[in-house]
Amino acid sequence: MKHGALVALAVMVLAGSAVAAPPGKPPQPAGVPSAPPPAWIEAGATEKWLAYSSYCWKIACVDYVSPQMRKDLPVVRIRRGEPVTFHLGFVPSQLSVSQGQKTRSLPPRKVVSWRPAAGVASIFAVRKAGGDASYAVRIKVR
């Protein structure tokens, strides 16, 4: 097979495995004039919208209660050691994830994978153009 044919085949395979946004409408913060784009998590064949957490975006800052206290977080079930992938609606200049007392820096990319433990995970992203966004999810490990 020639190089061009291999490239075309690789593009078709990758396009066929491209991940789309989760089903259903993304969350919308009520009564807020400006909010960061929604984000979602992919774990195996499961895709779910992440819950908004505290953020400052364009003209508004919004504070939520601690994610650990919230009952409305999406729940994602994974096998121990299984990676999850976060899909942001923007390219961050800084990205981190916190679980319990541990905070880990992640590569500042629009799509990034991480191997979580069980518990609430908070994703914090700083936008290059200014502003920041936090999202939250509850991880259950089987």
Range of the domain at 130: 23-141
Cα 68 to chain centroid distance, Å, stands at 17
Q: What is the mean pLDDT of residues 53-81?
A: 95
Does residue 104 contact residue 114 with C-beta atoms inside 8 Å? yes
User: Looking at the domain assignment, is residue 10 inside a domain?
Assistant: no
User: Looking at the domain assignment, is residue 76 inside a domain?
Assistant: yes
User: Looking at the domain assignment, is residue 67 inside a domain?
Assistant: yes
Q: What is the mean pLDDT of residues 121-142?
A: 96
Q: Name the one residue in this structure whose structure tokens are 């994703």.
A: 123
Give residue 43's identity as a one-letter amino acid code. Answer: A
What pTM value is reported for the model? 0.84
Q: Look up the CATH number of the domain holding residue 113.
A: 2.60.40
Q: What is the mean pLDDT of residues 81-105?
A: 96
